[in-house]
């Protein structure tokens, strides 16, 4: 399972998708929309925020909708695959009980159970994502990763949005921490930043899961929390 978020909606130079497609027999591509976890003031990792950084209700939400349509079209055209949309109604208090952790674990558990019934050997399930630096995303990644490992799934956190190979050691952040002016920090850090990460091509193959597995994952999650993007568009669902 590849967990995509805003900033990941592409085939080329997507380390998480590239690694999953290169190593896994089947790949399910998922996008989670849980805005109450994504920079909402007072939420996990955003307790000190005075204003919301969530994308809900902004122009970026509309652009994400267009990007999702485009990505789903490319997945279907290039690989015969599709995009699985996970999330609930942000205005429904009940939906907030099912965040990215619960939804992704539901897909992983359903995939493993569906394959285990017919497999002659042990089935390994794995979750891939591109790391983020926002405090609320780090909190969410830690929560998702801990729960996935506890459930017996393998976790791969990839460096997808970083210019340098070792972003945590980037001198830009070090210089800012010392109180340097932002441009000076950037200029100094750029020249001492180390090896730059090379862009990745789109995967040559990305084998989709069987339709039965996808339906099993949708059925395993609370009603209204999972669907194929194309099916949502056919039903006239708004974004």
Picking from 217, 213, 222, 218, the residue whose alpha carbon sits closest to that of residue 88 is 222
Do 2 and 16 meet the contact criterion of CB atoms below 8 Å apart? Answer: yes
CA distances from 8 to 3, 24, 32, 66 (A): 9, 19, 11, 13
The gap from C-alpha 18 to its chain's centroid, in whole angstroms, comes to 13
CA distances from 22 to 3, 10, 109, 197, 235 (A): 16, 16, 22, 18, 34
Q: Is 13 left (phi over 0), alpha (psi -120 to 50) or beta?
A: left
**Helix 100-116 and helix 135-150: axis angle, to 10°?**
30
The sign of the dihedral angle between the CA atoms of 154, 20, 223, 237 is positive
Do 20 and 2 meet the contact criterion of CB atoms below 8 Å apart? Answer: yes
Do 229 and 85 meet the contact criterion of CB atoms below 8 Å apart? Answer: yes
Task: Report pLDDT digits (tens) over 151-187.
Answer: 999 999 998 666 655 555 666 666 666 666 677 767 7
Burial letters 124-147, b for 16+ CB under 10 A, else e: ebbbbbbbbeebbbebbbebbbeb
pLDDT recorded at residue 51: 80
Do 191 and 1 meet the contact criterion of CB atoms below 8 Å apart? Answer: no
Task: Report pLDDT digits (tens) over 30-41.
Answer: 999 888 888 888
pLDDT recorded at residue 202: 96
Task: Report pLDDT digits (tens) over 76-122.
Answer: 999 999 999 998 666 666 666 788 999 999 999 988 887 766 666 67
pTM of the prediction? 0.84
């Amino acid at each position: 399972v590849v967990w995509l978020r805003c900033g990941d909606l592409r085939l080329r130079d997507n380390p998480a998708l590239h690694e999953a497609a290169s190593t896994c027999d089947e790949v399910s591509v998922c996008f989670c929309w849980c805005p109450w976890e994504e920079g909402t003031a007072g939420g996990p990792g955003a307790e000190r925020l005075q204003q919301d950084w969530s994308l809900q209700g902004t122009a970026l939400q509309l652009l994400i909708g267009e990007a999702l349509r485009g990505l789903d079209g490319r997945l279907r055209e290039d690989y015969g695959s599709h995009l699985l949309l996970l999330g609930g109604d942000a205005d429904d208090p009940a939906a907030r009980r099912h965040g990215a952790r619960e939804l992704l674990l539901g897909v992983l558990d359903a995939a493993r159970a569906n394959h285990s019934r017919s497999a002659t050997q042990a089935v390994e399930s794995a979750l891939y994502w591109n790391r983020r630096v926002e405090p609320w995303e780090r909190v969410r990644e830690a929560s998702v990763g801990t729960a996935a490992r506890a459930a017996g799934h393998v976790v791969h956190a990839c460096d997808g949005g970083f210019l340098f190979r070792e972003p945590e050691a980037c001198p830009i952040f070090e210089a800012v921490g010392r109180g340097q002016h932002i441009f000076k920090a950037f200029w100094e850090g750029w020249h001492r930043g180390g090896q730059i990460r090379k862009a990745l091509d789109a995967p040559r193959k990305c084998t989709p899961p069987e339709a039965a597995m996808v339906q099993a994952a949708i059925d395993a999650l609370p009603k209204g929390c999972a669907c194929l993007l194309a099916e949502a568009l056919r039903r006239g669902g708004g974004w």
